Structure 1
């Protein structure tokens, strides 16, 4: 855990150290995608950069024959504004560890490595400041720079379509649809996967926001078709106008879903 803790600490220190110099901006468009498991139509302003990071991401999947624990540290996403309503994204997982324990034999297998590179283009389609409705589209491709199970082992691609409606100044509902050419578990091909995420967001104040979500995903991997159902709750705190710290908890609702996931991280706008 020492290496992961150092990586998380370095990222956290960088975010906090950079925040005072940026706190005097009048009204920056600061709209991190995290910690929600859904998407967002909000894009980075031209000439500015969002940097988002997971300090620690732990997922547990407890099955009848084995228990799997996956830990990811320094999961980075960089969003760069290139036009008034367009941004490009680069994502990468700096470190991941997958630990599997066989319950019958007690044998433990641990795999460590880096994750895949993710390239994306996000376009804001509808919605202006002060208007209740917004929508966008995001297309992405992943390059196999990491090995399974930290990485996918082959390239993948997909399209994300998020829509949101603000019911009041404090309450908003949203839906994110996604269709992927997802990498096969074998690492040698791709298959169709589709998901939908429904979200309810409540803004306690300008600094604190909480979001509850429900996700349903259908995955048609050749090794076994599965439907996964998840429930999530997250909270974001913004001590300044350009810095966010957040936490996300996800629970599996059926036997095909991982049992639990806990993510801590943050975002900063340059």
Structure 2
């Protein structure tokens, strides 16, 4: 954990230095997907690159028989603009640790490793600067470069459809629908999973915004069908026009959902 914290600090320092150097750009299209748990229709401008990273991502799931803690560090997403309304994405988790403690025996099982490789294409479908409505679509596939539970252990795919409407200059509502051919927990085969996320965003200023979200997800894994209900609150701070730091907190609302998740990270535009 000390090594992961040091890596996160080095990444944060590099982001801050690079952001200061690039801050003189005139109104670039800087639209990180994070820290929202929903999607976005905004794409990276051609010739530019978004880099997004989670410095630390901790999730706790406390069940009757066991407690599971999952820690992810250096969760990276690179977004590259290839056309005026199209971008490609490459995502990868550099380090993950899953620790499970049996409450009856006290036995602890710890798994460490890397995550799966995610490749995606995002297309902006509707909405221009100054217009209240926007929509897009994002298709993705995941390659099994990691192992369960840090990775899925097999191929997966899905599609995300985000829509947003700006009620005022400060307030926006959004909905993100997603359908996946998700990997089975066994690591063999896939099953259908789908979700919907509703969000409300408020901009305190050009530098600070906060988003409240509610998510429902239905997972039809052969080992057991589950419905996850989550509530999330996130805040983003932009000290420059091309640099962001953010924090996300997620709470489970039913017994199938993880109890709590806390994520810190940031993004930069090159």
Please report the TM-score for the alignment, with normalisation by the length of structure 2: 1.00
Take 1:7 and 1:66, find their aligned partners in 2: how far apart are those partners?
30
- How far off its partner does 1:19 sit? 1.0
Give the aligned length.
270
Match of 2:66 in 1: 66
The residue number in structure 1 matching 2:172 is: 172
In structure 2, what is the Cα distance between the partners aligned to 1:69 and 1:34?
22
Query: Displacement, 1:35?
Result: 0.1
Deviation string, structure 1 residues 147-203 (Cα, Å, up to 9, x no partner): 111000001000000000000000000000000000000001100000000000000
CA distance in structure 1 between the aligned counterparts of 2:10 and 2:108, rounded to whole angstroms:
30
Report deviation, 1:11: 1.4
Distance 2:168 2:67 in 1: 43
Q: CA deviation at 1:10?
A: 2.0
Shift of 1:17: 1.4
| Counterpart residue number, 1:233 | 233
Q: In structure 2, what is the equivalent of residue 248 of structure 1?
A: 248
Alignment of 1:94-243 (within 5 A): 94-243=94-243
Runs of at least 4 residues off by over 3 Å? none
2:131 counterpart of 1:92:
no
- Aligned counterparts of 1:112 and 1:11: Cα–Cα separation in 2: 21
Give the structure 2 partner of residue 75 of structure 1: 75
Q: CA deviation at 1:96?
A: 0.3
Using the TM superposition, give the Cα deviation of residue 49 of structure 1 relative to its aligned residue in structure 2, in angstroms: 0.2
Task: Quote how far apart the aligned CAs of 1:83 are.
Answer: 0.1
Q: Which residue of 1 aligns with 2:11?
A: 11
Cα offsets for 1:223-267 (capped at 9, x unmatched)? 000000000000000000000000000000000000000000000
Report the equivalent of 1:50: 50
Aligned equivalents of 1:45, 1:124: Cα separation in 2: 11
Map of 2:264 onto structure 1: 264
1: CA distance between counterparts of 2:10 and 2:59? 22
CA distance in 2: counterparts of 1:117 and 1:202, whole angstroms: 33
More displaced 10-residue stretch of structure 1: 14-23 or 228-237: 14-23
Aligned-CA RMSD value: 0.4
Gaps of 5+ in 2: none
TM-score by length of 1: 1.00
SS at match of 2:98: strand
